[in-house]
Amino acid sequence: MNAGATRRESADLDTAIERSADARTARTLIDRLVEAHPEIAADLERDATVRDAVVAIACTSRALSSAIIADASLLDAVRDAHDLTNELTLDAYRARWKAHVAPDAGALRRWKRRELLRIAVRDLLGFAEMPEVGRELSELAQVCLEAALALVQPEVPLTIIGMGKLGGRELNYASDVDVLFVHDGDSDRAERVARAVLSTMSTPTEDGIVFRTDANLRPEGRQGPLSRTIESYTTYYDEWALTWEYQALVKARPVAGDDELGLRFMRVITPRVWPEKLDPDAIREIRAMKERAEEITERQGISDRELKRGRGGIRDIEFAVQLLQLVHGRDDDSVRSTNTLDALHELAEGGYIDHDDAERLDRAYRFLRTVEHRLQLYDEQQTHLIPSDVPTRARLARVLGYRDSPERTARERFEAEHRDHQAAVRRIHERLFFAPLLETLAGTGALSPEAAEERLAAFGFTDVERTRAAVRELADGLTRRSRVMRELLPVILGWLSETPDPDLGLLQLRRLAEGPARSASLAITFRDSPGAAERACHLLGSSRVVGEALRRHPEFVDTLDDDDTLAAEPSRAELVADAFGTLEWRGDEEQRREGLRRFKRRELLRIATRDLLGYARLETTGSELTALAEACLEVALASLRPASPSR
């Protein structure tokens, strides 16, 4: 009986295929599988667990589909339904690996492939949520590192430190396993051991690889030795380490090798990751690094599809959590978890993040990482980019569990949920750093005044009393205007913190909002035009002259959201015509003088704004200032000189 006939005889199999995310692909894979391994036909008919597992893998992972066609014994990993419904611990993985009679590198690769298939099936059939998947992948990788180290028979005391997603127990299906090597004794021998471990883990063979293992987070990167002594690490971190290297150590933990050596390493790095004194420059450097990464995705035009680095993506959540850990974790060791979701909820319990915001970020993180997992399962390649073509996005949506409804297709439902999560993540990300500080300034926060002052300094605000007064002035009271400004203040402080002089910016914003009418108008503009609000903050924190000009011309704030207006460069003739129009209704000479001064101040504000916001190059600014001066001279001569005497 051929494979096609066998398939048709199974109503349950047909039903499973028809309900799947990609029925055509599932049928093709099952036909190929039964053709290569006829004995599997009976399993597909009788064993619901195997049947559901094969259909799910066929629709989701081309890599694992090819693997089970090449080696049907991999399906042994999913034959036990009880085994699929339970998360395995680190010790359980160790026991499963030790069950091998003659373990070697080839056996390790095949064992990892079988266990990876089991994890993927647990994920796809709904037996494991995203955090469990990350934990199991991490435990699997840790046991593989232990096995690789044992197989090369280390000649010196050596420990392997897990970094990144391995350290946080949140690996993806295609994550690099980031590690550091630490040894005692002979460095040449330790170097050989480290190279052998990397080779065992990462060398491609017909059986694939164990895990892509990367030691490039080590001091000096690819240029540095693979393994160092604790003394060498200490010297490097004290004298040469960059800010991002300390940030990376937030997730460090020993994962294999000499336990005592690993503990000694952690005792050395812990006070360096969580120093007694918070370095404001380090915080600003980390934020600048994040902004540069965002600019790259913006230039490439992929920000909306980039799950990891795009606006409202995974990095927004991970970055916010790690930065808040670095800011608050020195004084509070309860917020130092290496796992993103655990740390997020620790920060909420400590009062550093609102509980509702933490729950919203939790949901978004689970969603984004699940999408990332589905993308990476397909070919087991590192990718974070949602496909641009509609058919592939539709397939992704169905793999994620979305189905068509009378109102919307599966793809449209997925895309709508993705946009909703992006917007929520970005909104919370932008105000997250300052909410606890504002609560403290208002007298209700979890931080002491000293801690608040230090954290404000880390974000560029050095005069805490002036900051406190400005916040109260902007947000006090029960008026609608006050409520709007209170909600916006965390975002406003974030924008101001990125300017050359945040203290000046906040002072000038306070002056700009003086008076009930002006304050209400500004609050509405900031609420309805966030682009204008962000640009106004940039100007206020960049120039005292421009801040004073904005105070004289508050209506100019409304124009900051208009790119066409900011990009325009009036000619000299247009400036002359505008100036004459300003003066023509003014009666006496003093009024015309004041009118010309107002015209000049307004145009200086426009020119300076174009300069500070990057709409004009230096030479353009010079020519505009020259044109303004000439226009003022021409209008002054025409409007202010006395009339010629009659003859």
Q: Which residue has the higher pLDDT, 554 or 514?
A: 554
pLDDT, position 441: 53
Residue 419 has pLDDT above 80, yes or no: yes
pLDDT average, residue stretch 548-574: 88
Neighbours of 375 (CB within 10 A): 22
* Averaged pLDDT for residues 321-329: 86
C-alpha closest to that of 6 among 30, 52, 41, 32: 41
Q: Are 50 and 78 in contact (CB under 8 A)?
A: yes
- Inter-axis angle of helices 230-239 and 259-273, nearest 10: 10
Q: Which residues pair with 182 in a beta bridge?
A: 159, 228
Strands 213-214 and 253-257: what pairing? unpaired
Q: 86-95, 97-106, 240-249, 387-396: lowest mean pLDDT where? A: 97-106
Q: What confidence score (pLDDT) does residue 243 get? A: 84
- Where residue 516 falls among pLDDT bands split at 50, 70, 90? low
Average pLDDT, the chain: 87
pLDDT band at 402 (very low <50, low <70, confident <90, very high): very high
Q: Distance (Å, rounded) from C-alpha 6 to C-alpha 27?
A: 12
Quote the Cα angle for 172-177-181, to 5°: 160
Q: What pLDDT does 445 receive?
A: 52
For residue 444, the model assigns a pLDDT of: 47
> What does the alpha-carbon distance between residue 385 and residue 376 come to, in Å, rounded to a whole number?
10
Which is more confidently placed, 463 or 112?
112
- State the pLDDT confidence band at 554, using cuts at 50, 70 and 90: confident
For residue 385, give the DSSP letter. Answer: B
Query: Using 50, 70 and 90 to split pLDDT, how confident is the model at 517?
Result: low
Q: What is the DSSP letter of 515?
A: S
* Whole-number pLDDT of residue 206: 83
Share of residues in the chain with pLDDT > 70 (%) = 90
**Highest averaged pLDDT of the listed ranges 323-327, 349-353, 378-382, 443-447:** 378-382
State both tokens at 50: 């195997």
Query: In terms of DSSP H, where are the helices of 74-161?
Result: 81-84, 90-98, 105-124, 130-151
Residue 4: what pLDDT? Answer: 47
How far are the Cα atoms of 362, 437, 498, 509 from residue 492, in angstroms, in the given order?
Answer: 24, 13, 10, 10
Q: What's the pLDDT at 365?
A: 98
The rounded percent of the chain whose pLDDT value lies above 90 is 55
Q: Distance between CA 519 and CA 307 in Å, rounded?
A: 38
Would you say residue 533 has pLDDT above 60?
A: yes
Tens digit of each residue's pLDDT (9 = 90 or more) over 592-605: 788 888 888 888 99
HEC-encoded secondary structure of 169-236: CCCCCCCCEEEEEEECCCHHHHHHHHHHHHHHHHCCECCECCCCEECCCCCCHHHCCCEECHHHHHHH
Please tell me the predicted confidence (pLDDT) of residue 3: 46
In this structure, of 159-168, 306-315, 501-510, the range with the lowest mean pLDDT score is 501-510
What is each CA distance from 442 to 193, 347, 390, 430, 481, in whole angstroms? Answer: 57, 20, 50, 20, 17
Q: Which amino acid is at 367?
A: F
> pLDDT, tens digit, for every residue of 145-185?
999 999 998 889 999 999 999 999 999 999 999 999 999 99
Alpha helices in 476-583 (DSSP H): 480-497, 502-512, 516-528, 530-540, 544-552, 563-567, 572-583
Q: How confident is the model at residue 641 (pLDDT cuts 50, 70, 90)?
A: low
Residue 300, pLDDT > 50, answer yes
DSSP 439-496: HHHTT-SSS-HHHHHHHHHHTT---HHHHHHHHHHHH-SSSHHHHHHHHHHHHHHHHH
Q: Are the C-beta atoms of residues 460 and 504 closer than 8 Å to each other?
A: no
pLDDT reported for residue 9: 45
Q: Which amino acid is at 644?
A: S
User: Is residue 626 helix, strand or coil?
Assistant: helix
Question: What's the chain's length in residues?
Answer: 647
CA 252/CA 263 separation, integer angstroms: 11
**3-state SS class at 611:** helix
> Tens digit of pLDDT for each residue in 71-110?
999 999 998 888 899 999 999 999 999 987 677 899 999 9
Q: Which residues of 350-366 are buried (b: 16+ CB within 10 A; e: fewer)?
A: bbbbbeebbebbbebbe
pTM, whole model, 2 decimals?
A: 0.77
DSSP 522: H
Residue 177 has a pLDDT of 97
- Among 21, 62, 34, 25, CA closest to 8: 34
What is the mean pLDDT of the segment spanning 220-246?
93
Q: Please write the tens of the pLDDT for every residue from 41-60.
A: 999 988 999 999 999 999 99
**pLDDT at position 17 over 80:** yes
How many angstroms separate the CA atoms of 634 and 429, rounded?
Answer: 51
DSSP label at 117? H
Q: Which amino acid is at 415?
A: E
Report the C-alpha gap between 53 and 181 in whole angstroms.
38
Phi then psi for residue 283, to 5 deg, are -65, -45
Query: What's the pLDDT at 593?
Result: 81
Span 308-326, mean pLDDT?
91
306 DSSP assignment: B
Question: 6 to each of 18, 42, 134, 224, 499, how far by Cα in Å?
Answer: 16, 9, 37, 59, 70
Nearest to 247 by CA among 215, 211, 290, 214: 290
Q: Supply the Cα-derived Rg of the chain in whole angstroms.
A: 31
Say how many Å lie between the first and final Cα of the chain, rounded.
122
